[in-house]
Structure 1
Amino acid sequence: MDSTLRDGEQTSGVSFLPHEKLMMARMLLNDLNVDRIEVASARVSEGEREAVSMICRYASRIDALERVEVLGFIDGGKSIDWAAECGCKTVNLLAKGSLKHCTQQLQKTPDEHIEDIHREVRYAHEKGITVNLYLEDWSNGMNESPTYVYKLMDALCDVGIRRFMLPDTLGIMNPLQCIEYFRKMLKRYPDTHFDFHAHNDYDLAVSNSLAAVLSGAKGLHVTVNGLGERCGNAPLSSVQVILKDQFNARTNIREDKLNDISRMVESYSGIAVAPNQPIIGDNVFTQVAGVHADGDKKDNLYCNALVPERFGRKREYALGKNSGKANIAKNLEELGLELTPEQTKRVTLRITELGDKKEIVTQEDLPFIVSDVLKHDAPEDKVKLVSYVVSTAYGLKPGANIKVEINGQAYEASATGDGQYDAFVKSLRYIYKKYLGRTFPILQNYAVTIPPGGRTDALVQTVITWNDNGKILRTRGLDADQTEAAIKATFKMLNIIEDEQEKEI
């Protein structure tokens, strides 16, 4: 049972709109094919009423209404009425699974609480509602007051409750305790359907879920991306693949949709998935080390059963200082770019240089890099940038101090400008006018682009159009830093001019 739309929404800062809940419910039921979904808590808001009504109407149309559930409370039938008005046919009643919760939160005796539950279940059945029952704080109940738990179960196991749902509400259990407590429950109540609902406070939600299954649990509660109260719940994707690969369990989940639902929930919740989150993280199918890419060419030496195609994804090879020729060759092949060994070597050297400046170079950057390395090979030995410093400070104009070498002669200058690059160009203009007696080309257009994706660490491609006494020159530079990219484009332009002047002479 997926509880993203109910328990997942208890993640701090997460609140789904009704239409968002409908879109997620559609994907969970129809595309991903989970067995059941818990979509809301009863009587929370009018928005929840609208969402549940929309989901139930949709589920009825695809003959899946029995798979939609709502959390209800022991409140004299109000939750039951609310669910019925929304068209829902299954309510998961929240009862107290520990003596402490019963006596201190409800301030009732166990017998009083049992009678309240009986009354609620009878009313639900009269309304044609199926009842499942949560034993809230069950893990603490088994740890501190097992007699109370057994008293509750003895009184309720034969009153028509379909499933008893056993939560580790505070996430306190470890797998050994989970096995022990489940075996005790099943020994006393062998014909009862038990679900397990894990929380991740000790990072044991997945482990406890597996322990519950191995001990006889017939249902597991999960959420997409592990959303949930505090540290969250057991992530659906992790539970699914471990059950299948490690224990040969069969489920109805369509694994190739796990990434799609993860991205949808990430978008609607605003909670980003960690890049290294198993199965669904951005980086989990990315090889960084070149030796791994090389091994993949040699009988998939660095692959396991978690192949990306299984989850609707593909293997990627990171580009950076650790990637090596094998990674770069894989990316060039993916893009359909064919380079000679010498060209590949030059691209590799360029990527290594860039890798020292930024954490990662993406495949989207690669065409820019290839173009930068191979298409703009104007010699840069006639006009060289020896060193420069650009600065900016609040309340002061940006400044630049530069040292250049032109045809073997060194020159220095400084200037201020409306921006760092403007100050840099003004310094160059000063050198060309004072020391060389030459007119510096006029900048006509300045365009900055980054590869698709919009990351702040992306490579910057700066394309500058110049007018040199009526002749139009267009040059570009590529770097992780925008000013550096513009400077590279500028020096390519100056070297083109020097080469043409030399030819005229």
Structure 2
Amino acid sequence: MKSVFLYDTTLRDGTQGEGFQLSRLDKLRIAERLDRFGIDYIEGGWPGSNPKDIEFFKEARKLDLKHARLAAFGSTRRANTAVEEDPQVRLLIEAETPVVTIFGKSWELHVTEVLRTTPAENRAMIRDTVRFLKEHGREVVYDAEHFFDGYKDSAEHALATLEAAAEGGADVLVLCDTNGGTLPSEITAICTAVKERLPDTPFGIHTHNDCELGVANAIAAVRAGGTQVQGTINGYGERTGNCNLTSVIPILQLKMGHEVVPDLSGLQSLSYFVDDVSNNPHFARAPFIGKTAFAHKGGMHVNAVQKLARSYEHIEPAEVGNRQHILVSELSGQSNILIKARELGLELEKGSPEATAVLSRVKELEHAGYSFEAAGGSLELLIRRQMGNYEKPFDLKEFHTSYRLYRDGHQPVCEATVKLYVGEVAEYTVAEGHGVVNALDKALRKALLPFYPEIEEVSLLDYKVRIIDGHDHTAAKTRVLVVSGDGERNWGTVGVSENIIEASWIAIVDSIDLFLQRRGSRAQNGDTSGGPAA
């Protein structure tokens, strides 16, 4: 029998976080994905709070959930109001979800100063609402808001509110660290006290990350006997966020032996899906599922993981859908270069002149300001050049860019000219663009298209600029990172120069050059039959 259940509140508590917004359709898509992954409970929102959530619950009735149970969220009845007459409680019933989660006040401060009622009436509000929902056939989750703060202020009052929920028939009592200020040792002690006071009613945990202890506090509660963990995918939520399910799930399953989901390998893709749907960037350094979670950069580390991965990896990356990343930088040893070359399908021999040359060139370029961690495309070209299986697809003669600003209201004009050779054939092209870099990119493509029509498939997806050695002010070096794609795969290339235009040119040229190298493209102009092959 399952010992710990997962309760996801991404669609409700997660949307209270800054920068995290979901449409009705977004919420439906995420709910289906959570169900497919194996989440036990999905909190859909508060039916009484806004029209979007009301519409969500109407549409959610059509979802064919295979595993998860959908929960509507709300509060206890109002003070001095019959539960049958409270419109907010009625909306919870009308949502027609199998589970209803309600919160009540555990902290006497909130009872007397916020609700402006008595502790006895507060307990009645909790008891009446839980009982009413149970009479309507709902599974009831009772969220004890501010429970830990309330317990530390008055343990007897906080425990009495839980007893009221249990008397009403609550299926689980969830202890909430609403302000996120409780320490794991306190969580353990207080959860133990709750279990002793109410041994017959299961309890769960709802933590926030204000002290960066959301996951640690959830684990502490489970160790003390908690059977439900609430949280959000990627830790989205109010202030600094909620307990991060993408961290707590693998800890529960891989470290503590609780089988909480049937297949962990979909964890990273679930994390990325929620980021993408909510239009948020992926957090590269996230434990378990982040891009750098299993990234190795130091030469000694890379040499070790090449021999025995678990020497520097606490789990197998594939268990959570991730993979090992070998980085190349000035800290690299030959092991980094060899593994990276193998990933790219290029074979380098350890100790060979080529491997030594690649490593030497990488360190030289990194010293000059290059970074290959996000520019695997430029690294691949560097390796190809040192191995001798590279031929330039074209030679640049010159390029020029200009920006003309008119004072008569005319739109500014950005223009670039490029003169290059493909074999013995000279091409001289001019193009306008939205900015000088865009104009330069267009002029280069215009010059190459007659010879390499396949570059129509290449799109520039991202463009980032970073200033290096800022103390040199306007004379500082600029690093430009370009991400390109052809519809099937993406690759990053990098350029460095004191001139931002030249740095951009280097990165853009590498991007197209790599595409042509991978395709094994050759110029399609009959006049260049003896010219360079790409």
Q: TM-score by structure 1 length?
A: 0.75
Partner of 1:334: 343
Q: Does 1:209 align with 2:218?
A: yes
Q: Deviations over 1:108-151 (max 9, x none)?
A: 11111222233323332343222221111101110102121132
Taking structure 1 as reference, are residues 418 and 134 closer, same or farther at Cα in structure 2, changes over 3 Å only? closer
AA partner of residue 27 (structure 1): R
AA partner of residue 481 (structure 2): A
- Which one of 219, 222, 234 corresponds to residue 243 of structure 2? 234
Q: Does 1:264 align with 2:277?
A: no
- Which one of 192, 201, 210 corresponds to residue 183 of structure 1? 192
1:398-417 equivalent positions in 2, closer than 5 A? none
Q: Does the Cα contact within 8 Å between 1:420 and 1:483 map onto a contact in 2?
A: no
Q: Does 1:47 align with 2:52?
A: yes
Taking structure 1 as reference, are residues 453 and 371 closer, same or farther at Cα in structure 2, changes over 3 Å only? farther
Q: Which runs of 5+ in 1 are unaligned?
A: 397-416, 429-439, 462-476, 490-505
Partner of 1:437: none
1:104-183 equivalent positions in 2, closer than 5 A? 104-183=113-192
Separation in 2, partners of 1:275, 1:191: 43
1:68-83 equivalent positions in 2, closer than 5 A? 68-75=70-77, 76=83, 77-83=86-92
Q: Deviations over 1:33-55 (max 9, x none)?
A: 02212121221222112222333
Partner of 1:318: 327
Separation in 2, partners of 1:218, 1:487: 56
Partner of 1:409: none
Q: Does 1:23 align with 2:29?
A: yes
Separation in 1, partners of 2:483, 2:155: 63
Give the Å deviation of 1:487.
10
- Which one of 43, 56, 60 corresponds to residue 61 of structure 2? 56
Give the Å deviation of 1:326.
1.3
Separation in 1, partners of 2:254, 2:141: 30
Give the Å deviation of 1:63.
4.9
Q: Does the Cα contact within 8 Å between 1:168 and 1:197 map onto a contact in 2?
A: yes
Q: TM-score by structure 2 length?
A: 0.72
AA partner of residue 83 (structure 1): L
Q: Does the Cα contact within 8 Å between 2:232 and 2:242 map onto a contact in 1?
A: yes
Q: Does the Cα contact within 8 Å between 1:57 and 1:87 map onto a contact in 2?
A: no
Taking structure 1 as reference, are residues 371 and 114 closer, same or farther at Cα in structure 2, changes over 3 Å only? same
Aligned residue for 2:168, secondary structure, equals: coil
Partner of 2:504: 482
Give the Å deviation of 1:452.
7.7
Q: Percent identity?
A: 24
Taking structure 1 as reference, are residues 162 and 242 closer, same or farther at Cα in structure 2, changes over 3 Å only? same
Give the Å deviation of 1:183.
1.2
Taking structure 1 as reference, are residues 333 and 216 closer, same or farther at Cα in structure 2, changes over 3 Å only? same
Q: Does 1:196 align with 2:205?
A: yes
Aligned residue for 2:336, secondary structure, equals: helix
Q: Deviations over 1:175-203 (max 9, x none)?
A: 11111111111111111111110111111
Q: Does the Cα contact within 8 Å between 2:371 and 2:494 map onto a contact in 1?
A: no
Partner of 1:360: 372
AA partner of residue 327 (structure 1): N
AA partner of residue 250 (structure 1): E
* Structure with bigger gyration radius: 1
Q: Does the Cα contact within 8 Å between 2:162 and 2:173 map onto a contact in 1?
A: no
Give the Å deviation of 1:17.
1.0
Q: Deviations over 1:326-361 (max 9, x none)?
A: 112112212222346333333333333343323334
Separation in 2, partners of 1:118, 1:211: 28
Partner of 1:446: 444
Aligned residue for 1:161, secondary structure, equals: coil
Q: Does 1:299 align with 2:308?
A: yes
- Which shifted more, 197-206 or 111-120? 111-120
Number of residues of Structure 1 aligned to a counterpart in Structure 2: 429
Separation in 1, partners of 2:153, 2:323: 48
Taking structure 1 as reference, are residues 63 and 259 closer, same or farther at Cα in structure 2, changes over 3 Å only? closer
Q: Deviations over 1:233-292 (max 9, x none)?
A: 111122122223443333225211110111011112333343211112121111112222
Partner of 2:481: 458
Q: Does 1:8 align with 2:10?
A: no
Separation in 1, partners of 2:143, 2:509: 65
- Which one of 182, 200, 221 corresponds to residue 230 of structure 2? 221
Q: Does the Cα contact within 8 Å between 2:126 and 2:161 map onto a contact in 1?
A: no
Taking structure 1 as reference, are residues 163 and 230 closer, same or farther at Cα in structure 2, changes over 3 Å only? same
1:369-388 equivalent positions in 2, closer than 5 A? 369-373=382-386, 374=388
Taking structure 1 as reference, are residues 336 and 329 closer, same or farther at Cα in structure 2, changes over 3 Å only? same
- Which shifted more, 20-29 or 287-296? 287-296
Aligned residue for 1:82, secondary structure, equals: helix
Superposed CA RMSD in Å reads: 3.5
